[in-house]
Structure 1
């Protein structure tokens, strides 16, 4: 059965007032143009669909997953033309959009994320986002289904299944999230077949002193711990029950100090050891059984960071799972795969997707800050729907000369 091409509402102009709209408030046009210039990706002459429009389009694409390429790009290009006082451009076809996307590539969007996406919470207004002055952040990974194209299969690979091969190739992504606000301030995409740590390691550049990084059991090897600890951030990571963590000093709160080593030889010679603190506890399950947790942390003082507090704090890590739900369910609206059919455009679409998520969370942060409320008291779905409804409406901002000047500047 042939698919009916989805469209946006009649007359919709996603970016009539980009500089007054959400996307351009979070990602100002001058910043995007600067990045495009630095990477040699900016348009050399005025076009009906310049590179700037392409960057906003990559974000808008994930806001309207039900709409066609042409429908989403048309409103972006029309809005930019209006803001700059140019005639409304003629509609562009899918091949022209694909050509622009190919010229643009993924790097400008990745650079934009590095420049504009930062943690949002401040201790005075959002104390729940901190533990004893340390900003709570979490790192985790997930898999994303991709269109079943030869190039995507070659670049990213198939996951295995009971029948030998899954139906779609997959990419593996890792994200670094501020737990209190769900602000996704670093992300990386790589092949499905890559080791999980290889995908997560580039995110360490975004960790620094004053953060407490939470992570699950995939990230507790000696080299992993050493690399993350070198950033200056404190760590609170879950580790395997069978890991050798001998008791060196028992602490009054039930935790204990131990040492991890790079290998057995270093352990025997007591060389290159890193001191850690271990916290063990169990939580009941609904069936009456218990789940056992074993945590390692760089916070060595039981007085400064009691074990019970850290055990409760660790479960903020589950906020990153909520972020993946927001990305996959509420932004993508249950769409099975990304749209892009080549690896470079997959990466471009991924970063546009992440940038759109951050924009929604930025909007929610403004509301939470203005009303002194917690971020988890607000509805992510409601704000996505609000953004989808209000972004195309241009009537709220009359096309005055002064407005146009402000939009272009």
Structure 2
């Protein structure tokens, strides 16, 4: 049994039955025998996300014992060629991996999970990031480049992700095309249904907008957004904890009504918008000589619910999303490694496989931390990744025999 438990690292959340259901729903099931089945290719794409730098054949060798144990790989099958694996990836497409990710990747912190909650609210962080992709004409046309470096850089794919801070689980993501920035991708996540009541959603100033704030509140969640100095926040009332009550509204409507507001004919609260609470504090030794000023707004109005210090401490948990991005881009993929795929659909397939596998590792770490009554932050992602790689790797004795029947 020990030789075969490795595949369980991939299948414990992405079961054979779930894969078959998604493949059938999306019409990706093979119509003829003799081809690598979509079910095998799902686990192959996930394994690619564990073994960057390994050739296609080597990745498949690491999977074969577990696939045989599952009944997904027949004894008579031989090693597929790199060309056959590439063709099978193209048949699978990107949507199967995306659908699997969206069905599996949900917030996983339990009420007992340490570091995942504040005042009964699940801490969530929304942020953007990106990855270099191979320099092919198709990738350049579809994804574009970072900034204006079209002549001296690789094509660049932009992403946005929603992370559960306490577990580092990325529970929603969007992949951009050329001309789509992080703001657009963040809006898609906020509209996707990933935001739920009971969440405290944190966003840095780069992704702040009135519309984003409104989408979080309309979803029934609570917001903790950092804002820049260009956001007008009128002081309506000081609150006992040193924060103050203010009001935010759509900038276009505020601009049209600014003359009337200054003339005293209407108040800013006559505009469609929200009351917010403002928390301001300085971080010493950052920014100017006096430190960096942090300005936060939240729709949690009552200081007795969460006071200013609670909100400030919670916001600094937002930086956990930076660690999540580092885990995916640096530790799992490799800091200098470019994604494998030269076609846009396969790039997206590869990214969904990467995110799905990262979620599986983080879910496993959360379970281990809960069992040991530890904060998941106390567990090492790098060590966990190494353990998972060792578990997936098995004795892969392929014979050069021709392919046999496709498993049912």
Alignment CA distance shift 1:58-1:220 (3 Å): same
Q: Note the residue ranges of structure 1 that are not aligned, 5 or more in a row.
A: 1-13, 396-407
Farther off after superposition, 85-94 or 234-243 = 85-94
Deviations 1:42-67 (Å, cap 9, x if unpaired)?
Answer: 23455462101111111110100020
Q: Is the 8 A contact 2:5 2:391 kept in 1?
A: no
Q: 1:276 matched to which residue of 2? A: 276
Measured on the aligned residues, the alpha-carbon RMSD in Å equals 2.3
- Taking structure 2 as the reference length, the TM-score comes to 0.88
CA distance in 1, matches of 2:90, 2:333: 22
Q: Is the 8 A contact 2:176 2:185 kept in 1?
A: yes
Q: Is the 8 A contact 1:141 1:175 kept in 2?
A: yes
Q: Is the 8 A contact 1:177 1:184 kept in 2?
A: yes
Alignment CA distance shift 1:47-1:179 (3 Å): farther
Q: 1:239 matched to which residue of 2? A: 227
CA distance in 2, matches of 1:347, 1:334: 19
CA distance in 2, matches of 1:234, 1:366: 27
Q: 1:330 matched to which residue of 2? A: 331
2:173 paired with 1:187: yes
Q: Is the 8 A contact 1:49 1:77 kept in 2?
A: no
Q: Is the 8 A contact 2:201 2:222 kept in 1?
A: yes
CA distance in 1, matches of 2:234, 2:65: 65
Q: 1:215 matched to which residue of 2? A: 203
- Taking structure 1 as the reference length, the TM-score comes to 0.88
Match of 1:99 among 87, 93, 99: 87
Deviations 1:134-158 (Å, cap 9, x if unpaired)?
Answer: 0001010011101011010101101
CA distance in 1, matches of 2:362, 2:299: 30
CA distance in 1, matches of 2:200, 2:152: 37
Q: 1:393 matched to which residue of 2? A: 394
Q: Deviation above 6 Å: which 4+ runs of structure 1?
A: none
Q: 1:8 matched to which residue of 2? A: none
Deviations 1:206-229 (Å, cap 9, x if unpaired)?
Answer: 011000001101222222211222
Q: C-alpha displacement at 1:394, in angstroms? A: 6.3
CA distance in 2, matches of 1:393, 1:219: 44
Alignment CA distance shift 1:244-1:286 (3 Å): closer
Alignment CA distance shift 1:88-1:334 (3 Å): farther
Bigger RCO (CA 8 Å, 6+ sep): 2
Alignment CA distance shift 1:282-1:78 (3 Å): same
2:163 paired with 1:177: yes
CA distance in 2, matches of 1:385, 1:196: 31
2:96 paired with 1:108: yes
Q: C-alpha displacement at 1:286, in angstroms? A: 6.5
SS of the equivalent of 2:10 reads helix
Q: C-alpha displacement at 1:82, in angstroms? A: 4.3
2:261 paired with 1:292: no
Q: 2:375 matched to which residue of 1? A: 374
Q: C-alpha displacement at 1:242, in angstroms? A: 2.4
Farther off after superposition, 83-92 or 32-41 = 83-92
Q: Note the residue ranges of structure 2 that are not aligned, 5 or more in a row.
A: 397-406
Q: C-alpha displacement at 1:73, in angstroms? A: 2.7
Q: 1:404 matched to which residue of 2? A: none
Match of 2:249 among 261, 265, 268: 261
CA distance in 2, matches of 1:335, 1:119: 30
Deviations 1:319-377 (Å, cap 9, x if unpaired)?
Answer: 00001110111101224311110111110000000011111111211211111111011
Q: Is the 8 A contact 2:196 2:221 kept in 1?
A: yes
CA distance in 2, matches of 1:34, 1:182: 28
Q: Is the 8 A contact 1:109 1:348 kept in 2?
A: yes
Farther off after superposition, 222-231 or 75-84 = 75-84
Alignment CA distance shift 1:225-1:145 (3 Å): same
Paired residues for 1:114-133 under 5 Å: 114-123=102-111, 125-133=112-120
Farther off after superposition, 145-154 or 45-54 = 45-54
Deviations 1:82-123 (Å, cap 9, x if unpaired)?
Answer: 431721421111221111111111111111111111111112
Q: 2:399 matched to which residue of 1? A: none
Farther off after superposition, 267-276 or 349-358 = 267-276
CA distance in 1, matches of 2:342, 2:237: 56
